[in-house]
Amino acid sequence: MSIKYQLVIYWSYEDDCFVVEVPELPGCFADGQSYTEAVRNVEGVIREWIATAQELGREVPEPRGRLISA
C-alpha cells in the first residue's frame, strides 16, 4: 500500500519527540524520537486506521494531495 495522505510533521517540545498528524484521517497520528521513526510509525497507524474503518463499514477518504497552499 502506498501512503499518499498529507503528513504534518513537527517537533513537540512538550513530548520531546517528533509528531506526525494525518489531517484527512481524523485522530490518526504517531510520534517518534527521530523524523524517520515518526514517519515509519505513522505509516503503520494509517494502515490500521484504514483497516479499522473498512471493518466498521466506514468511508475511507481518498487522499486529496496538498491541503494548504503557500
The tens digit of pLDDT for each residue in 21-39 reads 999 999 999 999 999 999 9
The neighbour count for residue 55, using CB atoms within 10 Å, is 8
Q: How many domains does the chain have?
A: 1
> pTM of the predicted model, to two decimals?
0.86
Instruction: Over range 29-50, report the average pLDDT.
Output: 97
- Within a domain: 65: no
- Within a domain: 69: no
- Within a domain: 3: no
Q: What is the mean pLDDT of the chain?
A: 92
Angle at CA of residue 47, ends 6 and 35, nearest 5°: 50
Q: Which residue has the cell 504534518?
A: 8
Q: Which domain holds residue 51?
A: 8-55
| Segments in the chain forming alpha helices (H) | 35-55
Q: What is the CATH number of the domain that holds 37?
A: 3.30.160.250
